[in-house]
Chain A
């Protein structure tokens, strides 16, 4: 009898493993999306030249000018960023949220053209050609969107293209809570 129970052990082990691997899939969490180490921490200090010719530099002090700001990291070579741009425009237009854009490892002319083509919802943009400032934010791919409060504290990071649903489900409640 005892031997029968022992024979069932591998099956039990297998079932536990399957449950362990299936749960994140069903929950819809993507393990390749890494939780930011910067949440709850002050945004890093930075000054970046603006992408557009007439633009002033984008710097940390800008983050402290409104109750909440989104900081979006994008690039003209980033295809998902194109899908996201109308969503950012809608958040800026309909919700009145200030969005800053950091252009990550891009060619300036391409970035200018891209903003003209896909819309520019950004209150100010920063040109991070070396990607060094993005590393200070903990960016590991574009697009990424950070929520920053008036104190300059990072509240949340979204990895990948932001959808209208994402905004309403996660970011909007965050802004209400403060």
Chain B
């Protein structure tokens, strides 16, 4: 019985999908292009709401950018070109994933540094206190 609640919670979390804000009139007739548009949209930040990507944001600017992404795809742009097109106007911040460059080296290396630090602490503990607790 005591497992029911956690189980339900996990179930809900697993079936919960981030809601997309794409409106029917935005969807492209070519499903392959539409799929690419959705994937690109998920990589672009909504600058109005800032925590959301443009695929899930209901803001007007997000809709305009979704339409622009589709317009560029229809014109034959590659995925990287579309991203670069938006980035040229709105800067790195519009990318959900910050680009790797000198200013973000620390940001990108933090997980590895933390892992390394943890391993180091663990290693020292195991080495220098073998008798403790045993």
- Interface, chain A (partner B; CB < 8 A): 32, 34-38, 105, 130-132, 135-138, 140-141
Collect the chain A residues with CB atoms within 8 Å of residue B90's CB.
34, 37, 138, 140
Q: Is the interface of B mostly helix, strand, loop or mixed?
A: helix
Bound-complex Cα distance A32 to B48 (A): 9
Bound-complex Cα distance A39 to B88 (A): 11
Bound-complex Cα distance A137 to B47 (A): 14
Name the contact of B91 in the complex, choosing from A35, A130, A137 (C-beta under 8 A): A35
Bound-complex Cα distance A135 to B90 (A): 8
Bound-complex Cα distance A40 to B87 (A): 15
Q: Which B residues, 39 to 73, have Cβ-Cβ distances below 8 Å to chain A?
A: 47-48, 50, 60-61, 64-65, 68
Judged by a CB distance under 8 angstroms, whether B89 is at the interface is yes
Residue of B nearest to A31 (CB): B50
Q: Give the number of residues in B that approach A within 8 Å (Cβ atoms).
A: 15
Collect the chain A residues with CB atoms within 8 Å of residue B93's CB.
34-35
| Chain B proximity of A112: nearest CB distance (Å) | 21
Q: Is the CB of A105 within 8 A of B89?
A: no
Q: Is the CB of A141 within 8 A of B88?
A: no
Contact with A along B83-95 (1 / 0, CB 8 A): 0000111111100
15 extra interchain contacts, Cβ-Cβ under 8 A, other than A34-B91, A36-B91, A141-B48?
Answer: A32-B50, A34-B93, A37-B90, A38-B89, A105-B60, A130-B64, A131-B61, A131-B64, A132-B64, A135-B64, A135-B68, A138-B91, A140-B48, A140-B90, A141-B47
